[in-house]
Amino acid sequence: MTIRLLCEKDIPAVLEIYRPYIETSVVTFEYEAPSLLEFTERVHAIQQEFPWLVCEIGGEVIGYAYASHYHDRAAYFWDCELSVYVKQGVRRQGVGTALYQALLPLLKAQGYYQAYAVIAAPNPQSQLFHQKLGFRSLGIHPKVGFKFGEWRDLDFQVLELREKNQPAQFPVPFPKLEAVDRETVL
Protein backbone atom coordinates (compact mmCIF):
# COMPACT_ATOMS: atom_id res chain seq x y z
CA MET A 1 0.00 0.00 0.00
CA THR A 2 1.42 3.37 -1.05
CA ILE A 3 0.08 6.76 0.05
CA ARG A 4 1.11 9.66 -2.16
CA LEU A 5 -0.03 12.99 -3.53
CA LEU A 6 -2.64 12.81 -6.27
CA CYS A 7 -1.31 13.30 -9.81
CA GLU A 8 -3.26 14.47 -12.83
CA LYS A 9 -3.42 10.91 -14.21
CA ASP A 10 -5.22 9.75 -11.02
CA ILE A 11 -8.25 12.01 -11.44
CA PRO A 12 -10.36 9.64 -13.63
CA ALA A 13 -9.79 6.75 -11.18
CA VAL A 14 -10.66 8.97 -8.22
CA LEU A 15 -13.89 10.07 -9.92
CA GLU A 16 -14.81 6.42 -10.53
CA ILE A 17 -14.28 5.67 -6.82
CA TYR A 18 -16.58 8.59 -5.96
CA ARG A 19 -19.32 7.83 -8.53
CA PRO A 20 -21.02 4.91 -6.69
CA TYR A 21 -21.16 6.93 -3.47
CA ILE A 22 -23.18 9.56 -5.37
CA GLU A 23 -25.39 7.16 -7.28
CA THR A 24 -26.20 4.58 -4.60
CA SER A 25 -25.65 6.07 -1.15
CA VAL A 26 -26.31 9.07 1.06
CA VAL A 27 -22.64 9.34 2.06
CA THR A 28 -22.46 12.38 -0.21
CA PHE A 29 -25.38 14.71 -0.77
CA GLU A 30 -24.59 15.16 -4.47
CA TYR A 31 -27.33 13.88 -6.74
CA GLU A 32 -25.37 13.44 -9.99
CA ALA A 33 -21.76 12.56 -10.68
CA PRO A 34 -19.79 15.49 -12.06
CA SER A 35 -18.22 15.33 -15.48
CA LEU A 36 -14.50 14.59 -15.62
CA LEU A 37 -13.85 18.24 -16.51
CA GLU A 38 -15.90 19.54 -13.55
CA PHE A 39 -14.27 17.07 -11.17
CA THR A 40 -10.80 17.98 -12.44
CA GLU A 41 -11.54 21.65 -11.79
CA ARG A 42 -12.63 20.79 -8.23
CA VAL A 43 -9.45 18.84 -7.60
CA HIS A 44 -7.27 21.67 -8.91
CA ALA A 45 -9.11 24.25 -6.77
CA ILE A 46 -8.65 22.16 -3.62
CA GLN A 47 -4.98 21.54 -4.40
CA GLN A 48 -4.36 25.29 -4.33
CA GLU A 49 -4.78 25.13 -0.54
CA PHE A 50 -4.82 21.51 0.64
CA PRO A 51 -3.17 18.14 0.09
CA TRP A 52 -5.11 15.53 -1.86
CA LEU A 53 -3.78 12.04 -1.23
CA VAL A 54 -4.37 8.72 -2.95
CA CYS A 55 -3.75 5.18 -1.82
CA GLU A 56 -2.62 2.68 -4.41
CA ILE A 57 -1.80 -0.98 -4.48
CA GLY A 58 0.01 -2.43 -7.48
CA GLY A 59 -0.45 0.81 -9.41
CA GLU A 60 -4.24 0.89 -8.88
CA VAL A 61 -5.76 3.82 -6.99
CA ILE A 62 -8.08 2.30 -4.37
CA GLY A 63 -8.85 5.30 -2.16
CA TYR A 64 -8.34 8.98 -1.60
CA ALA A 65 -8.59 11.65 1.07
CA TYR A 66 -8.38 15.41 1.05
CA ALA A 67 -9.20 18.45 3.12
CA SER A 68 -11.11 21.56 2.18
CA HIS A 69 -12.28 24.76 3.83
CA TYR A 70 -14.77 24.17 6.63
CA HIS A 71 -16.46 27.51 5.91
CA ASP A 72 -15.44 30.44 3.73
CA ARG A 73 -15.36 33.27 6.30
CA ALA A 74 -11.89 34.32 7.51
CA ALA A 75 -12.49 33.38 11.16
CA TYR A 76 -12.88 29.73 10.08
CA PHE A 77 -9.58 29.58 8.17
CA TRP A 78 -7.88 27.56 10.92
CA ASP A 79 -10.42 24.76 10.49
CA CYS A 80 -10.72 22.24 7.69
CA GLU A 81 -13.19 19.57 6.62
CA LEU A 82 -12.00 16.10 5.63
CA SER A 83 -13.27 13.65 3.03
CA VAL A 84 -12.17 10.06 2.51
CA TYR A 85 -13.46 7.56 -0.04
CA VAL A 86 -12.39 3.97 -0.59
CA LYS A 87 -13.15 1.83 -3.63
CA GLN A 88 -16.06 -0.56 -3.22
CA GLY A 89 -14.81 -4.03 -2.33
CA VAL A 90 -11.66 -2.72 -0.61
CA ARG A 91 -13.27 -1.09 2.40
CA ARG A 92 -12.44 -2.07 6.00
CA GLN A 93 -8.87 -3.03 5.09
CA GLY A 94 -7.08 -0.03 6.62
CA VAL A 95 -7.05 2.19 3.53
CA GLY A 96 -9.03 5.04 5.13
CA THR A 97 -6.94 4.89 8.28
CA ALA A 98 -3.69 5.00 6.30
CA LEU A 99 -4.93 7.96 4.28
CA TYR A 100 -5.95 9.94 7.37
CA GLN A 101 -2.71 9.06 9.18
CA ALA A 102 -0.84 10.68 6.29
CA LEU A 103 -3.24 13.60 5.80
CA LEU A 104 -3.64 14.80 9.40
CA PRO A 105 0.06 15.57 10.06
CA LEU A 106 0.22 17.54 6.81
CA LEU A 107 -2.74 19.66 7.90
CA LYS A 108 -1.13 20.23 11.28
CA ALA A 109 2.12 21.27 9.57
CA GLN A 110 0.13 23.75 7.47
CA GLY A 111 -1.16 25.36 10.67
CA TYR A 112 -4.69 23.99 11.00
CA TYR A 113 -6.20 23.65 14.49
CA GLN A 114 -9.29 21.52 13.93
CA ALA A 115 -10.39 18.95 11.37
CA TYR A 116 -14.09 18.26 10.89
CA ALA A 117 -15.85 15.22 9.50
CA VAL A 118 -19.42 15.75 8.36
CA ILE A 119 -21.07 12.32 8.23
CA ALA A 120 -24.51 11.43 6.90
CA ALA A 121 -26.15 9.69 9.85
CA PRO A 122 -26.79 7.08 10.77
CA ASN A 123 -23.60 5.60 9.35
CA PRO A 124 -22.14 3.50 12.17
CA GLN A 125 -19.08 2.41 10.18
CA SER A 126 -17.99 5.95 9.37
CA GLN A 127 -18.95 7.31 12.78
CA LEU A 128 -16.92 4.63 14.58
CA PHE A 129 -14.03 4.95 12.11
CA HIS A 130 -13.70 8.64 12.92
CA GLN A 131 -14.07 8.10 16.66
CA LYS A 132 -11.30 5.47 16.61
CA LEU A 133 -9.05 8.13 15.06
CA GLY A 134 -9.82 10.55 17.91
CA PHE A 135 -12.75 12.51 16.50
CA ARG A 136 -15.60 13.36 18.85
CA SER A 137 -19.17 14.00 17.87
CA LEU A 138 -20.44 17.55 18.29
CA GLY A 139 -23.99 16.37 17.69
CA ILE A 140 -26.51 15.44 15.08
CA HIS A 141 -28.04 18.09 12.85
CA PRO A 142 -31.42 16.58 11.98
CA LYS A 143 -32.88 16.50 8.50
CA VAL A 144 -30.48 18.86 6.75
CA GLY A 145 -30.23 17.07 3.41
CA PHE A 146 -32.84 15.47 1.16
CA LYS A 147 -31.72 12.49 -0.93
CA PHE A 148 -33.43 9.37 -2.27
CA GLY A 149 -36.83 10.58 -1.08
CA GLU A 150 -35.93 11.13 2.57
CA TRP A 151 -34.54 13.80 4.85
CA ARG A 152 -31.03 12.93 6.09
CA ASP A 153 -29.20 13.82 9.31
CA LEU A 154 -25.58 14.89 9.66
CA ASP A 155 -23.19 14.02 12.48
CA PHE A 156 -20.58 16.75 12.89
CA GLN A 157 -17.36 15.36 14.36
CA VAL A 158 -14.17 17.23 15.24
CA LEU A 159 -10.53 16.34 15.84
CA GLU A 160 -8.28 18.83 17.61
CA LEU A 161 -4.98 19.00 15.69
CA ARG A 162 -3.20 21.33 18.10
CA GLU A 163 -3.71 23.21 21.32
CA LYS A 164 -5.53 26.50 20.89
CA ASN A 165 -3.40 29.62 21.06
CA GLN A 166 -3.40 32.92 19.25
CA PRO A 167 -2.31 32.05 15.71
CA ALA A 168 0.52 34.11 14.27
CA GLN A 169 -0.69 33.63 10.70
CA PHE A 170 -3.24 31.87 8.55
CA PRO A 171 -2.41 28.27 7.62
CA VAL A 172 0.15 27.91 4.86
CA PRO A 173 -1.30 26.77 1.51
CA PHE A 174 -0.12 23.24 0.87
CA PRO A 175 1.85 24.06 -2.31
CA LYS A 176 3.93 26.51 -0.23
CA LEU A 177 4.57 24.07 2.63
CA GLU A 178 8.26 23.35 3.00
CA ALA A 179 9.33 20.14 1.25
CA VAL A 180 10.84 18.83 4.49
CA ASP A 181 7.41 19.01 6.17
CA ARG A 182 5.89 16.99 3.34
CA GLU A 183 8.61 14.36 3.26
CA THR A 184 8.43 13.55 6.95
CA VAL A 185 4.84 12.38 6.47
CA LEU A 186 4.65 10.88 2.97
Query: Does 182 map to a domain?
Result: no
In this prediction, residue 184 carries a pLDDT of 53
Query: Does 179 map to a domain?
Result: no
Query: Does 184 map to a domain?
Result: no
Angle between helices 95-110 and 124-132 (to 10 degrees): 50
Query: Does 42 map to a domain?
Result: yes
- In this prediction, residues 2-18 reach a mean pLDDT of 97
- CATH code for the domain in which residue 164 is found: 3.40.630.30
**Residue 182: pLDDT above 60?**
no
Query: Does 175 map to a domain?
Result: no
| Reported confidence tier of residue 90, pLDDT bands at 50, 70, 90 | confident
What is the number of domains present in the chain? 1
- In this prediction, residues 64-70 reach a mean pLDDT of 97
In this prediction, residue 82 carries a pLDDT of 98
Q: Residue 90: name the closest of 44, 56, 48, 118 by CA.
A: 56
- In this prediction, residues 148-169 reach a mean pLDDT of 94
Partners of 137 in the β-ladder: 157
| Reported confidence tier of residue 93, pLDDT bands at 50, 70, 90 | confident
Fill in the amino acid letter for 6: L
Summarize pLDDT for 102-116 with one digit per residue, the tens.
999 999 999 999 999
Q: Residue 167: name the closest of 78, 79, 80 by CA.
A: 78
| Reported confidence tier of residue 186, pLDDT bands at 50, 70, 90 | low
| Reported confidence tier of residue 124, pLDDT bands at 50, 70, 90 | very high
Summarize pLDDT for 133-152 with one digit per residue, the tens.
999 999 999 999 999 999 99
- In this prediction, residues 28-52 reach a mean pLDDT of 97
Summarize pLDDT for 70-86 with one digit per residue, the tens.
999 999 999 999 999 99
Asked if 26 and 147 touch (Cβ cutoff 8 Å), the reply is yes
Asked if 53 and 5 touch (Cβ cutoff 8 Å), the reply is yes
Q: Tell me what percent of the residues of the chain surpass a pLDDT of 90.
A: 86
Round to whole Å and give the CA distance between 150 and 104: 33
- In this prediction, residues 113-125 reach a mean pLDDT of 95
**Residue 168: pLDDT above 90?**
no
Structural domain including 150 reads: 2-170
